Structure 1
Amino acid sequence: MARPQDPPRGFFPFGNPFKNLSSSKSPLLSANLLSLLNNFEANLAVSITKLVPKQKTEILTVSWMKQAMESLCETHNGIKTLITDLQLPVSDWEDKWVDVYLDISVKLLDLCNAFSSELTRLNQGHLLLQFALHNLDTNSPQNLSKAQSSLDSWRQHIASKNPRIENCRAILSSLVQTLNLPKVKNSAKGKVLMRALYGVKVKTLYISGVFAAAFSGSSQSLLYLTVSNELPWAQSFMEMQNTMNSEIKSMFLSDRLTVLKELEAVDSGVKKLYPAIQQGSSLDSISMQPLKDSAAELSNGLDLVSKEVDCFFKILLSGRDTLLENLRSIGASTALATSPRKAAGKNYRGF
């Protein structure tokens, strides 16, 4: 994992959207366009600031992951509102903007599907825990053996790898390469849109990298992105990134089953009870309560994160469908019939 002080990796050749927008060759922005851009970027900065953990114990918790995904939903809804406020019809979009948007959205949908599959897998592990706890409640020697078997299966299940999560690193790497802004000619509205999309992409990619790292148990998916200090949200972003990356790196250096705090709490509870279970000793309700509580907290948290990932997926899908419908309505249906865009749209109409 790249450290906060490290230079950006070689495949992160970011452009400077501030320079692009303020170039002497750029069309001048009206007061209204400047206001729309400033408001969007101010809201982006605030949303990122809220994600900066106040304490190290908040890092890589399912509660932070829920908040982060909820924040992404708000930001992507915000860019949809900005497009409407810009009054920039799809007919005025350059082909390369459409291509970039559709390509990025397909890959983000792939990430959402990978995250959803891992959340489902973790929740399946909860069923094994519930079965173990049920058998422990009976205090029967025969059921203690069943409980031990269930706990063994739980640890094996949690430690196993999800192939879809393993693929996230390649997807993220390809998305990082899209951070270079397409060149915009003679369109003030287009330049505002491209700069706003740049901020959305940076925030989305970094958070997706944190999710992929947390789920994979590897720092290789964690991103270190550099952005221009001239951007209003840059300071907030770098604070979030440096704070998160430093602590996450330390977590991966420790000998733990998982870096997710709530999942680690469950594993700790299992380890405390396991020796007594092996010895066939009966357990009272007091000794089992911490494990029950941590298991319930994990399960509830995973459900909330799943709902936010589903929300994000639907926002992305809605944006793609709206764009495709608009393209068809302006006479592009013939071109789309033989274009990979339409095929991509059909492939992502649901989980």
Structure 2
Amino acid sequence: MSRPHEPHQPFFPFGNPFRMLSSSHLSRKLLILSNTFEETLAGRLGRLNPKDKDEVLSFSWMKLAMESLCETHNDIKTLITELELPVCDWDEKWIDVYLDVSVNLLDVCIAFSSELSRLNQGNLLLQCLLHNFKSNSSKLFIRARSSLDGWRQHVNSKNPRVENCCTILDKLVKSLDLPKVKNSAKGKVLMSALYGVKVETIFVCSVFAAAFSGSGKKLLELNVADKFIWSQAYTALQTSVNGEISNILSSGRFPVLKELEAVDSSVKKLYPMIQDGVDPVEVEAFQNSVSDLGRRAEKLSQGLDLLTKEVDSFFQLVLTGRDALLSNLRTSGTDSDGRLLGNGTERV
């Protein structure tokens, strides 16, 4: 792992655990399954690479990123089915890794959902603000100023759950060093595919954490070996998105989310207009500014709602996968080692 301000370090100082994954060790069926998964992931990462840098940190791009993540996690479920690799044949280490990673992902989702909920609460202040602007009463203008102050303080405050994401992401990065697979061609395909899933997951989650916290410390840069079909697409995506986010953060802009920044710009424009009441000469300019704020606030509200649904969908996807694995462990008798099920259920 390396962060933007640190030198790049290889993930596998003791050798590449995927060195045995080659066409000479796989049957034609397994090779097709592996290549199909990787080619699909490469295409998905390529589509996620924004054509315009202004798309980065917009709700539309973040929604697309979360949708992409859900699709990739669904693909790994499909791959496991096609591999015909029942849970009873899984190595205990694979199960441990899966349970640890999934519970960390649930924690990350909860942090993101709490931040989206917090931003939605800020919308209530905006709606109150816009309502007060419908009257010329000086008393209501005082309330409007109070709402403006409240909103600005709200959006500039920090969410402890998002701040803690850095620790969770570090755990996910450590999980990239997957358990060694011996005498199982299907296991090698599964571990290789899981590596791709986790790389995309870590990337998307680190971008979200950086966007919500306004901190470049949440950004992660991963070195991916060229042997993976999707490595070039991932490197291009990471370079493009992380580079633009770093530029935004280094400029001192906050908030950094596009729609939130647009609302904040309107608020800053309105604030001096209502300090001592609106001058008759400035009435038209004032009304235009209020209308502009209303449009931007509505766009922000819609973006928050759509992104919240996608984060919730990802949470449910991860949770359902955990439930399915734990259920299979119980029915297959793998739960004879109580440590496994204890590790899986108690942390949830």
Residue 297 of structure 1 corresponds to: 299
1:77-129 per-position Cα deviation (integer Å, ceiling 9, x unaligned): 00000000000000100000000000000001000000000000001001101
Tell me which amino acid in the other structure corresponds to 1:21: L
Does the 8 Å CA contact 1:8/1:226 hold for their aligned counterparts?
yes
Q: Secondary structure at the match of 1:20?
A: coil
Query: CA offset at residue 141 of structure 1?
Result: 1.1
Residue 140 of structure 1 corresponds to: 137
Q: Secondary structure at the match of 2:48?
A: coil
Alignment pair present for 1:318 and 2:320: yes
Structure 1 Cα separation of the partners of residues 258 and 328 of structure 2: 44
Query: CA offset at residue 15 of structure 1?
Result: 5.8
Does the 8 Å CA contact 1:36/1:82 hold for their aligned counterparts?
yes
Structure 2 Cα separation of the partners of residues 324 and 85 of structure 1: 20
Query: CA offset at residue 10 of structure 1?
Result: 7.7
In structure 2, the CA distance between the partners of 1:87 and 1:131, relative to structure 1 (3 Å rule), is same
Query: CA offset at residue 140 of structure 1?
Result: 1.6
Query: CA offset at residue 230 of structure 1?
Result: 1.6
Counting aligned pairs with the same residue, the percent is 57
Structure 2 Cα separation of the partners of residues 203 and 17 of structure 1: 19
Does the 8 Å CA contact 1:12/1:176 hold for their aligned counterparts?
no
- Number of residues of Structure 1 aligned to a counterpart in Structure 2: 342
| Structure 1 unaligned blocks of 5 or more | none
Residue 47 of structure 1 corresponds to: 44
Tell me which amino acid in the other structure corresponds to 1:249: S
Residue 65 of structure 2 corresponds to: 68
In structure 2, the CA distance between the partners of 1:166 and 1:266, relative to structure 1 (3 Å rule), is same
Q: Which residue of 87, 92, 99 maps to 2:89?
A: 92
Q: Which residue of 206, 229, 234 maps to 1:232?
A: 229
Does the 8 Å CA contact 1:132/1:150 hold for their aligned counterparts?
yes
Alignment pair present for 1:257 and 2:259: no
Alignment pair present for 1:123 and 2:123: no
Q: Secondary structure at the match of 2:221?
A: coil
Does the 8 Å CA contact 1:217/1:259 hold for their aligned counterparts?
yes
Query: CA offset at residue 279 of structure 1?
Result: 2.1
Query: CA offset at residue 290 of structure 1?
Result: 1.2
Does the 8 Å CA contact 2:210/2:216 hold for their aligned counterparts?
yes
Query: CA offset at residue 137 of structure 1?
Result: 1.5
Residue 20 of structure 2 corresponds to: 20
Structure 1 Cα separation of the partners of residues 318 and 55 of structure 2: 28
Residue 327 of structure 1 corresponds to: 329
Residue 208 of structure 1 corresponds to: 205
Structure 2 Cα separation of the partners of residues 233 and 41 of structure 1: 6
Structure 2 Cα separation of the partners of residues 109 and 82 of structure 1: 22
Structure 1 Cα separation of the partners of residues 15 and 248 of structure 2: 32
Q: What TM-score, normalized to structure 2?
A: 0.93
Q: Secondary structure at the match of 1:7?
A: coil
In structure 2, the CA distance between the partners of 1:332 and 1:19, relative to structure 1 (3 Å rule), is closer
In structure 2, the CA distance between the partners of 1:264 and 1:231, relative to structure 1 (3 Å rule), is same
Does the 8 Å CA contact 2:48/2:64 hold for their aligned counterparts?
yes
In structure 2, the CA distance between the partners of 1:14 and 1:238, relative to structure 1 (3 Å rule), is farther
Query: CA offset at residue 288 of structure 1?
Result: 1.1
Structure 2 Cα separation of the partners of residues 202 and 178 of structure 1: 10
| Structure 2 unaligned blocks of 5 or more | none
Residue 309 of structure 2 corresponds to: 307
Structure 1 Cα separation of the partners of residues 146 and 266 of structure 2: 16
**102-111 or 273-282, larger mean C-alpha shift:** 273-282
Tell me which amino acid in the other structure corresponds to 1:22: S
Does the 8 Å CA contact 2:4/2:219 hold for their aligned counterparts?
no
Q: Secondary structure at the match of 1:304?
A: helix
In structure 2, the CA distance between the partners of 1:298 and 1:15, relative to structure 1 (3 Å rule), is farther
